[in-house]
Structure 1
Amino acid sequence: MSTPENPWVLFVKSRDGLTAVAALVAILLHLVLWLVMSLEGLQADWPLVAVVVLGGGPLMISVLRSVVRSKGGADLLAAISIITAVLLGEWLVATIIVLMLSGGQALEEAATRRATSTLDALARRSPTIAHRLFGETLADDTEEVPVDEIRVGDRIAVLPHELCPVDGEVVAGHGAMDESYLTGEPYVVSKSVGSSVISGAINSDSALTIEATALPQDSRYAKIVGVLRQAEEHRPAMRRLADRLGSWYTLIALFLGGVGWVLSGDPLRFLAVVVVATPCPLLIGVPVAIIGAISLAARRGIIIKNPGMLENTSRVTTVMFDKTGTLTYGRPVITAIDLAPGVDENKVLALAAAVEHYSRHPLASAIIQGAQARGLELPAVTEVSERPGQGLTGQVGGHTILLTNRKTTITLDSASAGLLPHTSAGMEAAVLIDGRYAALIQLRDEPRASAADFIAHLPGKHDVEKIMIISGDRESEARYLAEKVGIEEVHAGVSPEGKLAIVEDYNQRGPTMFLGDGINDAPAMAAATVGVAMGAGSDITAEAADAVILDSSLERLDDLLHIGARMRRIALQSALGGMGLSIIGMILAVFGLLTPLLGAIAQEVIDVLAILNSARVAMARGTLADFEK
């Protein structure tokens, strides 16, 4: 995952940042010319004129474009102030406003700029080359071709550690593929002849021959890219805090400026009012608070990718969890072993674990770890084979051990139908010894220890109205987890397109948060008001998310919610407090008690106060979260 550049470095690199620096230099040079060299008029004003024309011109165009798009509520008043100051020949006042406006915009750009885009990250990971076979097997010649040239029915060699280029079916070879980036399920899935494979999965150590069953543009990976592009293009626009407050503030300032002009007949009175009214507590104070929140989050292991989300975390009313890796640990464990009569539990587990050492099946590591946790000694295995669709067979201590599924077990040993548990809500592996049913090992991906308490914590402490699970996993698994942690609404077996549709539906009802950890979650993250990636396992997921919680803990998620609330609270203090002081200054200007230059100086003092208050966001000490396990 790429790390965003330091916001202060981005400030200096931006055009608005350079304009702010140039304005500051021009003001200092003007003061030297005027005070030290006793120059007046254009001789002393030329640095100011240059900055206002060269720097303020593009700035004004940008502001006016924003106004046309109805996004410039906080900047419009500053633009009016610059135009009025230029018309009245008040170049120093105009330059000070250019400094304030460009500085605020540069800070905001630095705070909200992404290091890379989600679609770029997907493109970097996307398979581009395929090894097309001339014959039937890997022994035949191959040619490297662009993935786009692959057609349905083509045979392709997927080499060790390569990305699978298209959806297909294994026609030769035996190995495994890591599909976790795509499915969100933390398993390496074994592959044999007849197994389906999906584009974007990572092959393991053994080469496979696959036959393409879909065109590249119709593959699973391409569909996720398409859904993600749709999500990004239709992400709901969120008005900036500065714009929401600035729209009505601008009307008040223009009204008071007009009153001052009418009462005095002097247009300088109007200028004095709009100068002291320039909304710099919004233009500068809010971005400073955002940058402080980014720093505060980073110290707690949270990377903010889209700082605009900080304004919305405390307003979220619907929280949506993917199942695996968010509410669970992403590590299946044995939950029960159902035994046939006369079978010893430790013996059958040791035999199963011994054979599973030779398997890349998703549940193999869980069975092996279960045996190790009991301190069992695993017997030697003399022969191992895995027949497609039949399971894993091994010769252990003179016995034939088979690990397979429920259906195959009943086929091989009809008596097992009366011994197997009627239903299983989780994952399972049946064990047969010498062709006779011996045990059914049941496994689950258990919820995090703190998950239930955290779900109960959200409505009471963060005003969350609805909590749900949206998962691509089976209904039984999702329901089991929901019951364990106290969630009533469950959407199971949902594709990335389905997740996106659910998020878009709930976006219409209020701010949403989606938490996930797989590429299949990326479209939903991109569409949600706040998208949070749990862990840094995938660049695509991290780029689609607004924030990344590096250690995947729910405690850090609570930190994020409190950091967003702290940022919003302090930013509002700076904005409303600064505007309140500015309104007092405007009233003084209406009656001629503040000149335009004094108004600009007064506004700078207000700015400093707003910035100092906003800087408190980063100064939090101790624990912010109020969630305890």
Structure 2
Amino acid sequence: MSTTGSPWGLFLRSRDGLTTLGTFVAIISYLLLWLVFGLEGWASDWPLVMVVVLGGLPLMFEVLRNAVRTRGGADTLAAVSIITAVLLGEWLVAAIIVLMLSGGEALEEAASKRASGTLDALAKRSPTQAHRLRGESISEGLDEIPVSEIQVGDLVEVFPHELCPVDGEVVSGHGSMDESYLTGEPYVVSKSQGSAVISGSVNSESPMTIRATSAAEDSRYAHIVGVLKQAEDNRPAMRRLADRLGAWYTVIALALGAIGWVISGDPTRFLAVVVVATPCPLLIGVPVAIIGAISLAARRGIIIRDPGMLENTSKVRTIMFDKTGTLTYGRPVITDIAIAPGFNADETLALAASVEEYSRHPLAEAIRAGARKRALELPTVTEVSERPGQGLSAKADGHRVLISNRRMAYELDPDSRELMPDTEEGLEAVVLVDGKYAARIQLRDTPRAAAQSFIAHLPKRHNVDKLMIISGDRESEVRYLGEQVGINQVYAGVSPEGKLDIVAEHNKLGLTMFLGDGINDAPAMATANIGVAMGADSGVTSEAADAVILDSSLEKLDELLHIGARMRRIALQSAVGGMTLSIIGMLLAVFGLLTPLAGAIAQEVIDVLAVLNAGRVAMVKGPLSDFEVEDPQD
């Protein structure tokens, strides 16, 4: 059986892993020579000397080089311990320290690669081949080509059960696609002509022809893989904090070692102290906890781009939301239909919906949905045309129907000025029938079902004391949303630069988090202490974010907050708990109650306990979130 992807295989593929294995073999060989064959001195010590020289010296030099670069660190104690043990002829102790240090480093590397299994799976699962049509239909033939050769505008056939190779739009065919691997939710999404499809989703039973809207390297799937790779390369802020704590810890350990040497006159007391003080719980336990949190988040559809943000999520006191797509669905619904004299509401809506069947405008689906809700029968449409800035027109049920804006209505039917209110609230579509103003359809982007409950949940469970909406929309719309979800502090009509300034000002008062989903949110997101992108539809937004929630939902945001709090709690448990046990061991060594050999064994046990505890971060069986949507009427 291959060990390539197993923890053991990952362990052995690293230099530190091979050093650990060689050191273990050397210690066993020494014990056999000493206990079984009765050899002593150099006759039994030579395996230990070899492994300390060949494996320990490179490891020690690397530790010292890192210590100089970071102005000292806790792993400096390991180098001091090895040097002291060699000077005192304690080769077995030196070998055990090499085993401990190399094993810890190898364990961290193996844990990192193991935890990044989501990234490996995404990379290996990336679509590599595509079927490009030679003409406008599959009857003209197709060529199997590498995905990298697909250009924007190419027609591509996606066969049943095949991965969609690029982002695109369905031009023929009807079926569904499984996007669960990308969103983290077990949803199969229906697709038909005009539907958007994303690379990496799995087609169902029916073939579909799509037109590529992006090249493979610019597709959402490739972007997700790139974001995950960047997450692995970031050095967590909490690790840097561990380095700083380790510098003080090193001073304390060396001072205790010196005290033990002075009061006893025996240099082995110093060795015993520094051996048991080697702080692998701090140097390895914390990164393992962070890596586990990254893996846990990825499995739940949350990509951590900057692992350092995990330390701060539980300390955020100000959360700022963009409006559209974060607190709202980004899908408008009809709120009112103002009918002109002489027209019927249902008949006019049916005419408008029939024409909107041929539109890709964001308001078109809302109008169609309004007609479906009323169970209206739609007339047949002919002579459809759409001119830039003039709206959509067609012939329906013998009438010329135009769906446009109030400017066009004023131009075509001056009397409409008296029939429409001056104020514009929400979004609107103006319907003209045979050149006469017929109706004004008012629409609004509705709040998410969970928005009000979630806003109430944040102060109660996450100690957030300031919530605000920062949006470029009109003030009436932003205030309306604020009233619906329970946020009083709102900023409307704000430019991207203005959002940045507001965030920067609040950064001075404490840790901030900004949530957005559009390119105009990127500056504010990059300026906030923590930036979270909802939905990852924009590559620019994702690049600016510290975390990306693939499935745009507030429930996932709550999971992110809990993952950060869990990581910080368990990481501190491993670091502080391990260091506390080490300090107890150091005190015992100062008074001669712990020998260098016993100290090395005790520290190895402490290391294992700390790393095992840190590994708990990724082991979650039940739900992470404690957020439940409440009925507003309760």
TM-score, normalized by length of structure 2?
0.72
Tell me the CA shift for residue 620 of structure 1.
Answer: 4.1
State the partner residue of 2:577. 577
Q: For structure 1, which segment, 309-318 or 505-514, has the greater mean C-alpha deviation from structure 2 after superposition?
A: 505-514
Is 1:604 aligned to 2:609, yes or no? no
Distance 1:585 1:205, change over 3 A: closer
Question: Is the 1:111–1:290 Cα contact (8 Å) retained in structure 2?
Answer: no
Look up the SS of the partner of 1:480 in the other structure: helix
Distance 2:369 2:541 in 1: 29
Task: Kindly provide the amino acid, as one letter, of the partner of residue 321 in structure 1.
Answer: F
Residues 31-42 of structure 1: pairs in structure 2 closer than 5 A: 31-42=31-42
Is 1:337 aligned to 2:337, yes or no? yes
Q: For structure 1, which segment, 100-109 or 436-445, has the greater mean C-alpha deviation from structure 2 after superposition?
A: 100-109
State the partner residue of 1:211. none
Question: Is the 2:236–2:308 Cα contact (8 Å) retained in structure 1?
Answer: no
Q: For structure 1, which segment, 108-117 or 521-530, has the greater mean C-alpha deviation from structure 2 after superposition?
A: 108-117
Residue deviations 1:273-301 (CA, integer Å, cap 9, x gap):
01111112222333343344445445544
Tell me the CA shift for residue 462 of structure 1.
Answer: 1.0
Tell me the CA shift for residue 556 of structure 1.
Answer: 2.6
State the partner residue of 1:230. none
Residues 44-55 of structure 1: pairs in structure 2 closer than 5 A: 44-55=44-55
Distance 1:538 1:43 in 2: 67
State the partner residue of 2:380. 380
Question: Is the 1:63–1:72 Cα contact (8 Å) retained in structure 2?
Answer: no
Task: Kindly provide the amino acid, as one letter, of the partner of residue 284 in structure 2.
Answer: I
Tell me the CA shift for residue 88 of structure 1.
Answer: 3.1
Look up the SS of the partner of 2:393 in the other structure: strand
Residue deviations 1:545-590 (CA, integer Å, cap 9, x gap):
4444343322232222223222222222232222222111111111
Residues 275-294 of structure 1: pairs in structure 2 closer than 5 A: 275-294=275-294
Question: Is the 1:289–1:614 Cα contact (8 Å) retained in structure 2?
Answer: yes
Distance 1:83 1:253, change over 3 A: same
Question: Is the 1:112–1:308 Cα contact (8 Å) retained in structure 2?
Answer: no
State the partner residue of 1:273. 273
Residues 144-163 of structure 1: pairs in structure 2 closer than 5 A: 159=153
Distance 1:410 1:12, change over 3 A: farther
Number of residues paired by the alignment?
525
Unaligned runs of 5+ in 2: 127-150, 157-168, 171-209, 214-232, 630-634
Residue deviations 1:398-437 (CA, integer Å, cap 9, x gap):
2111111122212222221222232233222111111111
Task: Kindly provide the amino acid, as one letter, of the partner of residue 90 in structure 1.
Answer: E
Distance 1:115 1:611, change over 3 A: closer
Look up the SS of the partner of 1:514 in the other structure: strand
Task: Kindly provide the amino acid, as one letter, of the partner of residue 558 in structure 1.
Answer: D
Look up the SS of the partner of 2:447 in the other structure: coil
Question: Is the 1:352–1:401 Cα contact (8 Å) retained in structure 2?
Answer: yes
State the partner residue of 1:484. 484
Question: Is the 2:426–2:477 Cα contact (8 Å) retained in structure 1?
Answer: yes
Look up the SS of the partner of 1:360 in the other structure: coil
State the partner residue of 2:445. 445
Question: Is the 2:235–2:307 Cα contact (8 Å) retained in structure 1?
Answer: no
Question: Is the 1:382–1:395 Cα contact (8 Å) retained in structure 2?
Answer: yes
Tell me the CA shift for residue 357 of structure 1.
Answer: 1.5
Tell me the CA shift for residue 361 of structure 1.
Answer: 1.8
Task: Kindly provide the amino acid, as one letter, of the partner of residue 412 in structure 2.
Answer: L
Tell me the CA shift for residue 335 of structure 1.
Answer: 2.2
Question: Is the 1:104–1:287 Cα contact (8 Å) retained in structure 2?
Answer: no
Question: Is the 1:116–1:543 Cα contact (8 Å) retained in structure 2?
Answer: no
Distance 1:320 1:58 in 2: 49
State the partner residue of 1:462. 462
Distance 1:398 1:269 in 2: 101
State the partner residue of 1:554. 554
Residues 36-75 of structure 1: pairs in structure 2 closer than 5 A: 36-70=36-70, 73-75=73-75
State the partner residue of 1:327. 327
Identity %: 71
Tell me the CA shift for residue 454 of structure 1.
Answer: 1.0
Is 1:101 aligned to 2:98, yes or no? no
Task: Kindly provide the amino acid, as one letter, of the partner of residue 269 in structure 2.
Answer: R
Question: Is the 2:237–2:307 Cα contact (8 Å) retained in structure 1?
Answer: no
Distance 1:7 1:472 in 2: 50
Tell me the CA shift for residue 41 of structure 1.
Answer: 4.2
Distance 2:10 2:479 in 1: 46
Distance 2:316 2:327 in 1: 19
Distance 2:538 2:32 in 1: 55
Distance 2:489 2:234 in 1: 26
Tell me the CA shift for residue 244 of structure 1.
Answer: 4.7
Tell me the CA shift for residue 25 of structure 1.
Answer: 4.3
Question: Is the 1:111–1:307 Cα contact (8 Å) retained in structure 2?
Answer: no
Distance 1:497 1:21 in 2: 56
Tell me the CA shift for residue 379 of structure 1.
Answer: 0.7
Question: Is the 1:303–1:550 Cα contact (8 Å) retained in structure 2?
Answer: yes
Task: Kindly provide the amino acid, as one letter, of the partner of residue 337 in structure 1.
Answer: I
Residue deviations 1:295-345 (CA, integer Å, cap 9, x gap):
544554444454443322212223233333322223222222222233222
Task: Kindly provide the amino acid, as one letter, of the partner of residue 268 in structure 2.
Answer: L
Distance 1:298 1:384 in 2: 46
Task: Kindly provide the amino acid, as one letter, of the partner of residue 577 in structure 1.
Answer: G
Q: For structure 1, which segment, 506-515 or 430-439, has the greater mean C-alpha deviation from structure 2 after superposition?
A: 506-515
Tell me the CA shift for residue 47 of structure 1.
Answer: 4.5
Distance 1:6 1:367 in 2: 54
State the partner residue of 1:169. none
Distance 1:543 1:25 in 2: 47
Task: Kindly provide the amino acid, as one letter, of the partner of residue 275 in structure 1.
Answer: V
Question: Is the 2:558–2:627 Cα contact (8 Å) retained in structure 1?
Answer: yes
Distance 1:435 1:38 in 2: 109
Distance 1:356 1:258, change over 3 A: same
Distance 2:8 2:417 in 1: 68
Residue deviations 1:202-248 (CA, integer Å, cap 9, x gap):
xx9699xxxxxxxxxxxxxxxxxxxxxxxxx9999665453354343
Distance 1:106 1:305 in 2: 24
Measured on the aligned residues, the alpha-carbon RMSD in Å equals 3.9
Task: Kindly provide the amino acid, as one letter, of the partner of residue 457 in structure 2.
Answer: H
Residue deviations 1:134-190 (CA, integer Å, cap 9, x gap):
xxxxxxxxxxxxxxxxxxxxxxx985689xxxxxxxxxxxx99xxxxxxxxxxxxxx
State the partner residue of 2:225. none
Is 1:350 aligned to 2:366, yes or no? no
Task: Kindly provide the amino acid, as one letter, of the partner of residue 350 in structure 2.
Answer: A
Distance 1:309 1:109 in 2: 21
Distance 1:488 1:66, change over 3 A: farther
State the partner residue of 1:195. none
Question: Is the 1:334–1:442 Cα contact (8 Å) retained in structure 2?
Answer: yes
Residues 106-121 of structure 1: pairs in structure 2 closer than 5 A: 106-108=106-108
Question: Is the 2:239–2:287 Cα contact (8 Å) retained in structure 1?
Answer: no
Distance 1:401 1:552 in 2: 36
State the partner residue of 1:261. 261
Residue deviations 1:504-540 (CA, integer Å, cap 9, x gap):
5555544333333445555655554444343455666
State the partner residue of 1:191. none
Unaligned runs of 5+ in 1: 125-156, 163-174, 177-203, 208-232
Tell me the CA shift for residue 600 of structure 1.
Answer: 0.5
Is 1:401 aligned to 2:401, yes or no? yes
State the partner residue of 1:152. none
Task: Kindly provide the amino acid, as one letter, of the partner of residue 80 in structure 1.
Answer: V
Residue deviations 1:475-513 (CA, integer Å, cap 9, x gap):
554443333222344455666666566555555544333
Distance 1:265 1:536 in 2: 65
Task: Kindly provide the amino acid, as one letter, of the partner of residue 445 in structure 2.
Answer: D
Question: Is the 2:239–2:283 Cα contact (8 Å) retained in structure 1?
Answer: no
Question: Is the 1:103–1:284 Cα contact (8 Å) retained in structure 2?
Answer: no
- Relative contact order, CA 8 A, sep 6+: which one is greater? 1
